[in-house]
Each structure stands twice: as structure tokens, then as C-alpha cells.
Structure 1
Amino acid sequence: MKTSRWLIALLLVGSAPALAAPDSCERVKSDIQQKIINNGVPEAGFTLAIVPNDQTDQPDSQVVGHCANDTYKILYTRTSSGNYPVSGNATQDGQPAEPQ
């Protein structure tokens, strides 16, 4: 009986970090989102997604953070909402970039 209590306690303690992972990832995602907005990118101009490490190869996305002991990544994707350009062919004010 004593052994089973220790086993249950050990399992609960061992699973605590796994249960906390989504919360820590949400905090990291929120911090990154605020930094992007503070840099002048409109909130409608991007999305952030929390994905497992094996799902980071998504088109037009860039890894901008990690969480949960580096088992998840946070992906940044530009959107076409508002005046924020999706391609890198325009300047910040939306005007076409001068050819180099």
C-alpha cells in the first residue's frame, strides 16, 4: 500500500511540467506578440502559433520562440490584413521598394 502511494505521488510530480507546458507557452507567445506590436506591426498583420518541434516546417512561417523545455516552437506568419505587406517587396510605409 505504501509503495503504491509513492508511485502515484511520483507520477503526479513527474507529469506536472507536462501539464504546465501550455501555460508557459501561452505566456511566451503573449510576450512575443507584444514585442512585435510594439515594433509597429499591426495585430492584424501577423499570427503566432504554438506547434510541436516536428511541425515547424510550415510555408511562410518563421520560428520566433520556443517553450516547454524546447519541445514546442512559436511560429510567426505574416497575414495580408490591413496595409502591412505580406511579401518583402515593399517598404514599411507600403510603397514599393526601390530596385537596387
Structure 2
Amino acid sequence: MKKTLLAGLAVVMLAPLVAQASCDTVKADITQKIVANGLPESGFKLDIVPNDQADQAGGQVVGHCGNDSQKIIYTKTAGAGDESNSSPKTGTSQDSN
């Protein structure tokens, strides 16, 4: 009985660490995708915030993690450089008509 209780307690204590590790993994994956689209890593930042603080973070939600309890927020930094490279181009010229 005591072993079961201790094992359950250990799982509950370690769950936030596992969730944070998965958030860091998701954040790293998103960073790689943004850099692959041509924006240098110094041109943006990604923050992991609780869901209830996502609206106050002042950026765009680009992912979620931690069993959907946290959001990953993208914000462009002041040193982003050339505006033409700061966001990937999508669509065609026909989209503007």
C-alpha cells in the first residue's frame, strides 16, 4: 500500500517537469520552422505562457503545449532587420484583388 502511494505521489510530482520538457521541445520545433522561413533567431522571441495570460502577452499564438494548458506566443523583436524578410510571403497577387 505504501509503495503504491509513494509511486502515485512521485508521478504527480514529476508531471509538471514532463509537461515543461514537452513545451521546450515544441518551442524548439517552432523556432526551427521560423528560422527555416528566413527570419534570424535574433528577429523574434517565443514565450511560453499559461492559457489565461495569452491575451496579455502581446503577440501571436503559434502553438500550445502542456496538455493544452500553455500557449506559445510569437513576438517580433526590434532587431528584426529588413521588414521584407520578417514574415514569410504567402498567397499570390490575385489574393489582393
1:6-25 alignment runs, 5 A limit: 6-25=4-23
Using CA pairs below 8 Å that are at least 6 residues apart, which structure has the higher relative contact order? 2
Report the structure number with the largest CA radius of gyration.
1
| From 17, 25, 28, the counterpart of 1:27 | 25
* Separation in structure 2 between the aligned mates of residue 54 and residue 62 of structure 1, nearest angstrom: 14
Which structure 2 residues correspond to residues 62-81 of structure 1 after superposition, within 5 A?
62-81=60-79
The alpha-carbon distance between structure 1 residues 8 and 65, as it changes in their structure 2 partners (threshold 3 A), is same
Residue segments in structure 2 that go unaligned for 5+ positions in a row: 87-97
In structure 2, what residue type is equivalent to 1:43? E
Query: What is the TM-score with the length of structure 2 in the denominator?
Result: 0.77
What's the offset of the Cα at 1:4? Answer: 2.7
**Cα distance in 1 for residues equivalent to 2:60 and 2:9:** 36
Q: Give the 3-state SS of the residue equivalent to 1:31 in structure 2.
A: helix
Any stretches of 5+ residues in structure 1 without a counterpart? 86-91, 95-100
Moved over 4 A (4+): none
Q: Which has the higher helix share?
A: 2
C-alpha distance in 1 between matches for 2:57 and 2:10:
38
SS of structure 2 residue aligned to 1:58: helix
2:57 and 2:11 map into 1 onto residues whose CA distance is: 38
The residue that corresponds to 1:52 in the other structure is 50
Aligned residues: 87
Q: Tell whether the 8 Å contact from 2:44 to 2:80 is kept in structure 1 after alignment.
A: no
- Looking at structure 1, the residues matched to 82 and 22 of structure 2 have their Cα atoms a distance apart, in angstroms, of 29
Aligned-pair Cα RMSD in Å: 2.1
1:93 deviation in Å?
5.6
